[in-house]
Structure 1
Amino acid sequence: MNRTDRLYALVEELRAVSPRPRSARWLAHRFEVSTRTVERDISALQGAGVPIWAEPGRTGGYVVDRARTLPPVNLTPAEAVAMAVALHRLGGSPFASAAGAALRKLVAVMPPAAVAEAHRLAGRVHLVGDGPGTPVPAAVADAVAAGRVLRLRYADRDGADSARDVEPLAYLGNATHWYLVAWCRLRDGLRCFRTDRIRSVHPLAEPVTRELRPDDLDLPVDRVRPLTLV
């Protein structure tokens, strides 16, 4: 998550629980940053006029005046794709049609550039069956969205670690796990990395230049569903 998105997310997190406070430590864990970064972000928001104050004490923390802040009007591209992934799990339920209609309404009010970016990001997600429940590391998600090369430390099925630079191309999800589909420079080939086996992630400045072709994923066509926003 870049700083601009994090600043918006901080305000929304505080709005959601207002008038209860959130501590800097809790927010740091939530957004996967240091407490010092949270404190700098809060200071920047206060300097911009956002009505945030600190409540002292053991159960204290930061509070925002809900009545003097507005919720976001539009989804970001990543938020739209996140909703599409979540709604995919409703397939076959009584609410599948209504959920799809709700997402289309939200996408309809997004700026055209954001819609185009959301479709591009959704095109990098492929789901098998009902979709996964395990999380994807934030640094991996950010790098895939930004199209940046990643330096991974990855553990194989036996627990042996290896370091490798990869070009992230897509996600693949089944009923239990997310996989990062990437071109592995160590193996000089396409590989799927189970995200819960990624020990550490370091995004590099180098952009990804490869594209995933439809026939690159050697999977049964009738079981793989590309993610869509409509």
Structure 2
Amino acid sequence: MNRTDRLYALVEELRAVAPRPRSARWLAEKFEVSSRTIERDLSALQHSGVPIWAEPGRTGGYCLDPAHTLAPLGFTVDEALAVMISLGTLVTSPFRDAAMSALHKVVAVTDGRRLSETAELASRIHLLGEHRSNEAPQELADALRTGQVLQIVYIDRNGIATSRSVEPMGFVGKGSDWYLIAWCRLRDSLRAFRGDRITEAKSLGERPPRRPLRVEDLGIVQGKLRMVGPGEKSS
């Protein structure tokens, strides 16, 4: 069993017996790994937002907090697989941490039989990407939510770095690349900044009125833009 499958299985095991605890030793024997490995796995799940807590004492162990545990979700296998694939495509996006946290939470409340079948199918699906890192600073996702101005250092296609103050307006994803769409105060116009070329980003704490973002203003000449979420449209 690989680590990803074990993380899913750990959550399901704790969910099945909640609020009763399972010791690290008991879990280690079940999954045929060391107690230290189990403790690292549980720590990773906790940091991703899964509501696991430790109960001290000789009969204690790790519990999935029943006060924060939903009933099993009624996803079909196809629906659960679609969610897993969708969240997996965000691994190079500014929303990667939130996507992985959301995935762990979905796993925590998904029916065990469906989850097992979904995990097996997901193991047969792979995403083809480039060798270069496409990860963008986490501050980009935070800025879109808060509406705060960012001070960024951007490397253009010629390798020249510039410092700019920008007002985040949205994102455009293309393959494994993600572009921050923002009003650039240096150029006094709308600009698209490729995420992996933004080497630094920090909030200035300023929250100006949010500018409208119209598809026609983006000047896309190749391909079609598609909105995400309910009622998505193409243009």
TM-score by length of 2: 0.48
Q: Which has the higher contact order (CA 8 A, sep 6+)?
A: 1
